[in-house]
Amino acid sequence: MSEVLFSCWNGKVVDNRAKEADTLESPAHISLPANFFNGKDIKAFMGWGGFVIKDSGISIVNLCVAFLEKVQQESCGQCTPCRIGTKIMLEIMRGIAEGRGREEDLADIISIGEFVRKASKCTIGQTSPTPVIDAITYLREEFEAAIASKNSLTKDDTSRYIGKVTAPCINACPSHLNIPQYVEDIKHGRFLDSLQVIRENTCLPGVLGRVCVRPCELSCRRANADEAIAIKHLKRFVADFESDRHITPKIPRSTSRKDKKVGIIGAGPAGITCAYYLAKKGYQVTVFERFGEPGGMSAMGIPDYRLPRSVLRREVEIVQSLGVEIRYNTLVGRDITMKKIKDEFDAVFIAVGAQGSSSMRIEGEDAGYKGYIPGVKYLLDINQGRDPYPEGKKVVVVGGGNVAIDCVRSSFRVGKEDVNLVYRRTRKEMPADDIEVKDAEEEGVKFHFLCNPTRIIAENGKVTGVELIRMELGEPDESGRRRPVPVEGSQFIIDTDILVPAIGQAIDLSFLDADTQLEVTRRNTIVVDPETMMTSEEGIFSAGDCVTGPGALVAAAGGGRTAALRMHEYLSGKPVKRSDGELMEDFFSAIGVYDPAEDLGIIGGGQRKHLKMMPPEERKSSFAEVESGFSVSEAMIEADRCLRCYRIGVVAL
Amino acid sequence: MEPQNIININGIDYSFTPGETILEVATRNDIYIPTLCYLKGMSPTGVCRICLVEVEGVKTLLASCSTQATPGMVVKTDTPAVINARRMNIELLLASGDHNCLARSLDAGLWTDFQLDALDIEEHRDLCPAYGDCRLQDLAILYRVKPDHVVPVNPKYDVEDVNPFIVRDFSRCILCGRCVQVCNEIQVNKVISFGYRGATSKIITRGDRALKDSDCVFCGECLQVCPVGALMPKQDMALRTPVNEMKKVRTTCSYCGVGCQIYLHVKDNRIERVTGVEGTSPNLGSLCVKGRFGYDFVAHPERLTTPLIKKDGEFHEATWDEALDLVAKRMNDIKRDFGPDSIGLFTSARITNEENYLAQKFIRAVIGTNNIDHCARL
Ligand SMILES: Cc1cc2nc3c(=O)[nH]c(=O)nc-3n(C[C@H](O)[C@H](O)[C@H](O)COP(=O)(O)OP(=O)(O)OC[C@H]3O[C@@H](n4cnc5c(N)ncnc54)[C@H](O)[C@@H]3O)c2cc1C
Ligand code: SF4
Ligand code: SF4
């Protein structure tokens, strides 16, 4: 990796130009990943916080021109400073690059830039002049030389410049929804336009608007001033706005029908999303699904009180309206072989998720006791309207994640009276969503922290209790959380009728036949090339939980969409690879877009709007949706809190 | 007492009601903050950035129209930083189009180029029709802006004069977005929106078509709020009478019974333009296509000025007495020969309620029939 020659990021300068090799400094606040763009090294980068130059062949003037061009492309054109100011900066800078520079140009760029930075409405204008002003400030001699020489710098420039706009929230979202845009549409009352923006990146707005783990909100810049924007609830609002009014969405789709056929295994979020984007492109898509219901874990795992089945069904119907065929009750491996699918279709997408349960590796698990029910199976039964074990009234669920929480909360709803959750660390370390843990507490779940099961106790083939051992927290492990260690001799027993392990999910690939031997990892996840989304076998693609291991819906859906893009390239004979835009987004993730320590210098205090929730006593025994969505005015007021933190970056290759 | 709901502007404390913006508090207390895109009573967009003010503790300048007052906020409306930002803003706006009126004083070299460039467009050879009635010109004069170092950047969109009533001159558009807001929020026709990006931005219809090929109903609401010379009534473009030569006469529109309040802009006893009266019921400045543009009949050469009576298949001019006597006589004859029910009266929305009342009184009491109807009942 070549070293940084000069960098200025957030005002901190590193200047290695005249330094000996052994005294080189490296900028602590920004680091550029090496060999990023298909093995090409980045020569320079200019973005919202400054710029970094690695290759002495780069002309800073040309870099500024490329950057300002991108700014002009992305400026929404509404506020005066950014629309006209950055255009004039660009024209003056272009003049310098093309040998038409004048002495007063640099002062003009700086004074206009200072104005744009101070007066613009959103962060495109507020951040974009900074790197240009910094460049002129610290590398003034290069600009002056360009002005004096009257030569064109652009003629011999062989560098390729790639620009991209992002935002902290967009970058954090695995599906990269254009959040500031759809939020702004809500603010202006253009609810259906907002939904159209969302649908460019996901076909599950109503689902994600209810159950997404919302990585975007954890990276929302507004939180630096007061509270994050209610991005998830706003998405739900526009989705509900459309469905409540029975509006049939207009989905733009390619007019040319393609003769290529795609087979998809699994109608979970990954499979459905992939089907949607391929169908939009005109492919004939067939989905094979084991159950009689679409949605995968979002239907069979996530309980109805969080995600009503009707929401999921409607969104899948929209996908079907594009011509996608879903063959329900078809278990691949039993009802149809993998070989037959490969023969029948030009490309195959595997999205079978992680539908098995991990074992706790304790005595009695394989004994087949009545009352021992793995978490995923437990929820599956409840979601199909069955009480998994009607005789049992007392339940112990083991685990600290969302699945465990869903198990305990659903237990009340099928009439269980005494519901317990066992977790080996403390409340603070629980990976489950804090809000949901609170909801479960309110509903009356008994939590047992710092203990772990060691043995199942059974009589006459039925579970009667579980032996637990107390734990204490030791040294932090690789995840940064402190590792729980058992306290010798502290075993005790809780009586219970039902024991539900919910400590993890496993991937079941038994449907693959001898003919299809895909490369898998130690954890039994399918290996794909991140560049092509293809498995070890040509023409077979995969994404979702079966590739990543059990994860979040938005990640699985995002994987499905990316796979659709790659499959389209594959089927139309184009090079199968991540686009410049996708690579740039990866690049932004590597350098970090959200800075939790940034002082925004704005007036905070704008209170986030919260959804109304049924009181615990009422909701505890009901599968009806517990939260009700925003009203129109609540949504518009909440949307107005968004700061539109767009930021622009350009790399030179 | 807690310092609740008090905001300090330029060193003086003012009380505010929660939800009020800085601009509203300032205006209520006679503190002048210039605005361009701001439309009273509508949700502020904060895009023109002319109303920027300094707020203590905030890094950037804030748009006073869209920033709500908060307790203890300290605002300065006229610091050098604010004034300079406003001047730069006006300068940029002038540079972004063919604003070749007096407002623009470039250095001699650039000026000629600029004028020649502007004159390229035929419509720009004469004085800008907004001259004297232009917020941008006013602001440029008020802030004594001399754009001397700014390169003109003009996206050069053709003047759209194919529409029946409205001429759109994009090179004089400052993209304040007022037209977009009123089209979407007041008339709810949702015809126009911001299109394209950066300096090529343009107010567009769906598919960037001319207004006449869009869903536009030519109510002219956009004209009413355009602060510059970008949207002009077609008749005005032809006449180009400077505002100060026209007399404003307030009256009630006679097209229908709503009673919209209008101004007639009159020169030499001719109506040259109609605008809605802002802030007054029932129309609060809004008009329909007839009220706003349908005034040329008043001075139309083909307009009848006396009654005509047909004799031997040809019309002859007559006096009102002759005409009314004839009508009365014929009505009486018809009533006598065929009975009152052979006569019916159809009244019009162009007459007042009182006149409509008299019409039904006349047909019932004088003629003696219930045959009466009204065009608005359809
Ligand atoms: C209880 C629970 C709660 C969760 N809560 C949330 C949450 O709140 N928020 C969130 O973001 N994520 C949540 N998740 C995670 C989320 O549901 C998953 O990450 C997501 O559903 C994965 O999508 P997928 O398409 O990869 O796989 P899945 O959703 O597992 O779908 C796989 C599909 O393939 C089908 N299938 C499998 N094998 C075959 C075969 N051989 N033949 C035919 N069909 C087959 C399955 O029936 C299934 O429909 C939760 C998961 C669980 C279990
Ligand atoms: S304030 Fe808006 S744009 Fe900024 S991070 Fe939050 S949601 Fe994204
Ligand atoms: S729109 Fe206003 S500023 Fe522009 S030329 Fe016309 S009068 Fe002058």
Q: Which of residues 151-170 of B touch A (CB under 8 A)?
A: 151, 153
A487 vs A564: CA distance, rounded Å: 50
Chunked into runs of 10 residues, chain A (653 residues) has average pLDDT values of 81 86 73 73 92 91 96 92 95 94 93 96 93 96 94 87 95 96 89 95 97 95 94 97 94 87 97 98 96 92 91 96 96 94 96 90 86 92 89 94 93 92 93 89 94 93 94 85 89 94 91 89 94 96 96 96 97 94 92 89 77 83 85 91 93 93
Residues of A in contact with B84 (CB under 8 A): 115
Same fold, A261-354+508-577 and A357-506: yes
- The answer to whether A420 touches A440, Cβ cutoff 8 Å, is no
* Mutational test site, ligand 1, from A334, A553, A562, A627, max ligand atoms within 8 Å of CB: A553
Instruction: Tell me the nearest-neighbour CA distance from B257 into chain A, angstroms.
Output: 33
- Is pLDDT at B282 greater than 70 in this prediction? yes
DSSP secondary structure string for all residues of A63-93 = HHHHHHHHHHHH--S-SHIIIIIHHHHHHHH
Please report whether residue B92 resides in a domain.
no
Band of residue B376 on the pLDDT scale cut at 50, 70, 90? confident
Chain-chain contact of A77 with B197 (C-beta, under 8 angstroms): yes
Residue ranges of alpha helices (H) inside chain B are 22-28, 80-95, 108-119, 135-142, 178-181, 221-225, 234-239, 289-293, 320-338, 353-361
Q: What is the pLDDT of residue A365?
A: 85
Chain-chain contact of B174 with A80 (C-beta, under 8 angstroms): yes
Please report whether residue B90 resides in a domain.
no
Question: Once rounded to an integer, what is the mean pLDDT over residues B63-74?
Answer: 92
Question: A81 Cβ partners below 8 Å, 6+ apart?
Answer: A115, A116, A119, A120, A121, A125, B49, B89, B92
Chain-chain contact of A78 with B177 (C-beta, under 8 angstroms): yes
Q: What is the mean pLDDT of chain B?
A: 90
Distance B357 CA to ligand 2 centre (A): 61
Q: What is the pLDDT of residue B1?
A: 46
Same structural domain, B297 and B330: no
Band of residue B111 on the pLDDT scale cut at 50, 70, 90? low
Q: What are phi and psi of A166, to 5 degrees?
A: -150, -170
- Which architecture characterizes domain A169-250+594-624+632-639 according to CATH? Orthogonal Bundle (1.10)
Q: Which residue has the higher pLDDT, B125 or B66?
A: B66
Q: What is the pLDDT of residue A119?
A: 96
**CATH value at residue B142:** 3.30.70.20
Question: Once rounded to an integer, what is the mean pLDDT over residues B242-266?
Answer: 90
* Mutational test site, ligand 3, from B143, B171, B172, max ligand atoms within 8 Å of CB: B172
Distance B62 CA to ligand 1 centre (A): 47
Name the residue range of residue B251's domain. 246-303
Distance A584 CA to ligand 3 centre (A): 43
Q: What is the pLDDT of residue A2?
A: 54
Q: What is the pLDDT of residue B245?
A: 87
Please report whether residue B1 resides in a domain.
no
Band of residue B103 on the pLDDT scale cut at 50, 70, 90? low
Same structural domain, B230 and B130: yes
Question: Once rounded to an integer, what is the mean pLDDT over residues B292-307?
Answer: 92
A511 vs A339: CA distance, rounded Å: 10
Question: Once rounded to an integer, what is the mean pLDDT over residues B332-352?
Answer: 93
Ligand 1 contact, A296 CB (< 6 A): yes
- Is pLDDT at B104 greater than 60 in this prediction? no
Considering only CA atoms, which of A283, A320, A305, A525 is closest in space to residue A406?
Answer: A305
Residue from A67, A69, A80 whose CB has the most chain B CBs within 10 Å, to mutate: A80
Tokens of A352: 């079978």
Domain ranges of chain A: 6-166, 169-250+594-624+632-639, 261-354+508-577, 357-506
What ligand is nearest to the CA atom of residue A335? Answer: 1
B182-239: per-residue pLDDT in tens? 998 899 998 999 989 899 999 999 899 999 999 999 999 999 999 999 999 988 777 7
**Dihedral (Cα; B150, B155, B158, B164), 10-degree rounding:** -90
Size of interface A-B (CB pairs under 8 A): 119
- Closest CB to A121 among B46, B59, B185: B46
Q: What is the pLDDT of residue A40?
A: 79
Q: What are phi and psi of B8, to 5 degrees?
A: -105, 120
- Give residue B127's region: left, alpha or beta (phi > 0; psi -120 to 50): beta
A316 vs A273: CA distance, rounded Å: 9
Same structural domain, B214 and B156: yes
Question: Once rounded to an integer, what is the mean pLDDT over residues B328-349?
Answer: 95
Name which residue sits closest to atom 4 of ligand 3, judged by CA: B99
Cis peptide before B282 (omega within 30 of 0): yes
Q: Quick one: B377 exposed, middle or buried, by C-beta within 10 A (0-12, 13-18, 19+)?
A: exposed
Please report whether residue B95 resides in a domain.
no
Domain final residue pick, B271, B288, B303: B303
- DSSP lists the bridge partners of residue A132 as none
Chain-chain contact of A119 with B60 (C-beta, under 8 angstroms): yes
B154-196: per-residue pLDDT in tens? 767 889 999 999 999 998 999 999 999 999 889 999 899 998 9
Ligand 1 contact, A378 CB (< 6 A): no
Same structural domain, B121 and B212: yes
Q: Is A225 on the interface with B (CB under 8 A)?
A: no
Same structural domain, B18 and B123: no
Q: Is B49 on the interface with A (CB under 8 A)?
A: yes
Burial B173-190 (b: 16+ CB within 10 A, else e): bbbbbbbbbbbbbbbebe
Domain final residue pick, B39, B63, B78: B78
Question: Once rounded to an integer, what is the mean pLDDT over residues B242-261?
Answer: 89
Cα end-to-end distance, chain B, whole Å = 64
A481 vs A52: CA distance, rounded Å: 35
Q: What is the pLDDT of residue B378?
A: 56
Q: What is the pLDDT of residue B162?
A: 94
Same structural domain, B218 and B124: yes
Distance A354 CA to ligand 1 centre (A): 6
Instruction: Tell me the nearest-neighbour CA distance from A158 into chain B, angstroms.
Output: 26
Instruction: Tell me the nearest-neighbour CA distance from B191 into chain A, angstroms.
Output: 13
The CATH topology of domain A357-506 is FAD/NAD(P)-binding domain (3.50.50)
The CATH topology of domain A261-354+508-577 is FAD/NAD(P)-binding domain (3.50.50)
B121-133: per-residue pLDDT in tens? 777 777 788 888 8
Chain-chain contact of A118 with B200 (C-beta, under 8 angstroms): no
- Closest CB to B153 among A80, A84, A118: A84
> What interface predicted TM-score (ipTM) does this complex get?
0.85
**CATH value at residue B29:** 3.10.20.740
| Ligand 2 surroundings by CB, under 6 angstroms | A 167-169, 179-180, 183, 220-222, 229, 231, 642-645
Q: What is the pLDDT of residue A571?
A: 97
Instruction: Tell me the nearest-neighbour CA distance from A316 into chain B, angstroms.
Output: 30
Atom of ligand 2 nearest to the CA of A641: 1
Q: Quick one: B111 exposed, middle or buried, by C-beta within 10 A (0-12, 13-18, 19+)?
A: middle
Distance B18 CA to ligand 2 centre (A): 25
Name which residue sits closest to atom 5 of ligand 3, judged by CA: B99
> Minimal Cα distance from A603: which residue of B?
B58
Q: What are phi and psi of B260, to 5 degrees?
A: -60, 140
Residue from B5, B35, B59, B60 whose CB has the most chain A CBs within 10 Å, to mutate: B60
- Is pLDDT at B249 greater than 60 in this prediction? yes
What ligand is nearest to the CA atom of residue A353? Answer: 1
Same structural domain, B137 and B230: yes
Question: Once rounded to an integer, what is the mean pLDDT over residues B76-83?
Answer: 96
Q: Which of residues 65-104 of A touch B (CB under 8 A)?
A: 71-81, 83-88, 91-92, 104
Question: What is the number of domains present in chain B?
Answer: 4
B286 vs B288: CA distance, rounded Å: 7
A101 vs A151: CA distance, rounded Å: 9
Q: Is B52 on the interface with A (CB under 8 A)?
A: yes
Q: What is the CATH number of domain A6-166?
A: 1.20.1440.230
- Is pLDDT at B3 greater than 80 in this prediction? no
| Ligand 3 surroundings by CB, under 6 angstroms | B 99-101, 103, 128, 130-131, 134, 136-137, 172, 228-229
Ligand 1 contact, A299 CB (< 6 A): no
